[in-house]
Amino acid sequence: MNPYQKIIDLLQSNSIAFDEIEHAPVFTSKEVQDVTGVPLHQGVKSLLIKSKLGFALFVLPGDARLDSKKIRKIIGASDFRFATPQEVEEIMGCAVGACYPFGDVCNTPMYIDTSVLKNTKISFNPGRHDTTITLALNDYQKIINSISADIIQT
């Protein structure tokens, strides 16, 4: 089953209301904002990283950047890199830029920036470049297994 269908099934099986917007393929957070009107801070990007300890997924606002020092400390590794397109496909079942904020769907530990948790809604790509899903943050928090941490540059 593809990640999009897994995410839809997860939301529906937990009776979570969500809005789904289909649009032309987009590849950046800014493009998502342009085609959907979703504010950058509400839209999240999910970045897969690899260290000597394995893979981890980091979820942050669309207008933010990861802080390398904070990531090293959080994962307990002195060095890490972003996953290659092939690794993203292998681990998450999607292309770079379509990563989704559900570590459990791909059996990957997930860290979510604390600033994301200040929103009332969350919007994301569900493993596809041509779709954006929006749902209430409190519903999202009920179905994820993550660690909240300060992971962005300030």
CA distance 140 to 137: 5
* Domain range enclosing 85: 3-149
Please give the tally of structural domains in the chain.
Answer: 1
Given a cut of 90, whether residue 41 has pLDDT beyond it is: no
- Output the CA angle 135-139-145, nearest 5 degrees: 115
Per-residue pLDDT tens digits for 51-98:
999 999 999 999 999 999 999 999 999 999 999 999 999 999 999 999
40: which DSSP letter?
T
Which residues on neighbouring strands pair with residue 20, listed in sequence order?
Answer: 133
- 88-140 pLDDT, tens digit each: 999 999 999 999 999 999 999 999 999 999 999 999 999 999 999 999 999 99
Q: Tell me if 154 is assigned to some domain.
A: no
DSSP state letters, 15-27: T--EEEEE-S---
Say which CATH number the domain at 136 has: 3.90.960.10
